Amino acid sequence: MWYFYAPKTVFGEDALDYLDSMDEKRCFIVTDEGIIKFGMLEILTKKITPLEMDYKVFSGVEPDPREETILEATKICQDYKPDLIIALGGGSSMDVAKAVWVLYERPDLGIDDLYPFIDLKLGKKAKLVAIPTTSGTGAETTWASIITRKTDKGDIKLEQVHKEMIPTVAILDPVFVKSMPKGLTASTGFDALAHLSECIISVWKNDYSEAMALKAFELVQKYLPIAYEDGTNIEAREKMHAAANMAGLAFGNAQVHLGHALGHVLGATFHKPHGFTVGVFLPYVLQYCLHGDEAEETVNILGTFAKRTGVAKWDDANLDAAHKYVAEIKRLQKVVNHPTLSEMITREELDEKIDMMAEWCLESPSAAMSPRSAGSQEFKKIYEYAFENKDIDF
């Protein structure tokens, strides 16, 4: 027996009107200062004010949100006692809101208690509505909350997961993504591409996720370059919003693996945008998974995926087709000016941190979802190869 997890999803122009149908009257909004600056909070508050909904705003979410931020927001939330929590923002705001939701409902728990094998019984105090303002993280669909923790050896990203942390409702209204700047369009778009590409070969792969990933890839391949070039193209913005959500549904039910393990560690260490930290490794982890003694299944899945998406021809050998998929990822990276690893960090920074980063990768729950396992030596080599822009040959 197996479940497909998804929130109630409202998509399209004026999707925000879904709030009209909600009976809740005290709303705790979790967001960041940028959302306020760019007028997006105002769009939301203009919607809920006539509904006689009282609201309180927590705008202290930062990129790579820290556990202290979650505890601070939880305290305010507990004092305010909302019956609705709205996450308005990118993955960081949604990750914070998910954790706050749990800790508000279950004050007996701490952040380290957010693991899959306990019964949370959420929803007794509040519902969680997620409104993404970027097209990529899929956090509105998933049951993960990525939280940064300070340690003696530097920052790490906790990957806290629980199936009850899926938002009650995801509202995907393109009004919130039409003014994303180029760099954010590219990084979040590549996050979606990493989600759909990693999950189709993960150890939890399944037909439902692959179906979502297929359509999501078709949309990303066509519309990410358009949205990047011309952010005012509403069709491209809508299609990328759908693609990111579908890639979220795909990986939320099949999991990501090595690219996110390597990327989370890179992001925690150097605080770079999440989409670029995972996007930069995507070609290399796919190549790594196409090597090794047990690569046959991965070769067949990725090769067939490449053929179905038109990236390869039907009479290509599956290994050739799979490598054409990797080449297509690299082509798309160039189209959106995705930075290389050597443009993101210096050689000295890599040399100083690589041993520790490889060790942290081993701690990542994502790493266990890879079709080909990796030890610290393999993680180090992938970091090295990515830095040198060298195809994986091991």
Binding site for Fe ion (CB under 5 A): 191
Q: Is 381 helix (H, G, I), strand (E, B) or coil?
A: helix
Q: Which is nearer to Fe ion, 44 or 332 (CB)?
A: 332
Residue nearest to Fe ion (CB): 191
Query: Which DSSP symbol is given to 221?
Result: H
- Triad 151, 66, 90: Cα angle to 5°: 140
Q: Which is nearer to Fe ion, 90 or 371 (CB)?
A: 90
Q: Measured from the CB of residue 73, what is the shortest distance to Fe ion in angstroms?
A: 22
Inter-axis angle of helices 234-252 and 182-199, nearest 10:
30
How far apart are the C-alpha atoms of 372 and 109, rounded to whole Å? 35
Q: Measured from the CB of residue 263, what is the shortest distance to Fe ion in angstroms?
A: 7
Tokens of 130: 């997620």
Q: Is 344 helix (H, G, I), strand (E, B) or coil?
A: helix
Q: Measured from the CB of residue 58, what is the shortest distance to Fe ion in angstroms?
A: 23
Q: Which is nearer to Fe ion, 127 or 195 (CB)?
A: 195
Q: Which is nearer to Fe ion, 137 or 309 (CB)?
A: 137
Q: Which is nearer to Fe ion, 74 or 160 (CB)?
A: 160
Q: Which is nearer to Fe ion, 174 or 267 (CB)?
A: 267
Q: Are strands 127-132 and 84-89 parallel, antiparallel or unpaired?
A: parallel
How far apart are the C-alpha atoms of 185 and 227, rounded to whole Å? 7
Smallest CA-to-CA distance from 56 within 76, 72, 71, 38 is with 76
Q: Measured from the CB of residue 64, what is the shortest distance to Fe ion in angstroms?
A: 13
Q: Which is nearer to Fe ion, 74 or 148 (CB)?
A: 148
Q: Measured from the CB of residue 188, what is the shortest distance to Fe ion in angstroms?
A: 9
Q: Which is nearer to Fe ion, 187 or 318 (CB)?
A: 187
Q: Residue 349, Cβ neighbours under 10 Å: how many? A: 12
Query: Which DSSP symbol is given to 340?
Result: P
- What does 139-205 look like in DSSP terms, one character per residue? TTT-SEEEEEEEETTEEEEEEEE-GGGS-SEEEE-GGGTTT--HHHHHHHHHHHHHHHHHHTTSTT-
Q: Could you tell me if 182 and 227 are in contact, meaning their C-beta atoms sit under 8 angstroms apart?
A: no
Q: Measured from the CB of residue 274, what is the shortest distance to Fe ion in angstroms?
A: 6
Q: Measured from the CB of residue 153, what is the shortest distance to Fe ion in angstroms?
A: 23
Q: Measured from the CB of residue 373, what is the shortest distance to Fe ion in angstroms?
A: 21
How far apart are the C-alpha atoms of 344 and 292, rounded to whole Å? 29
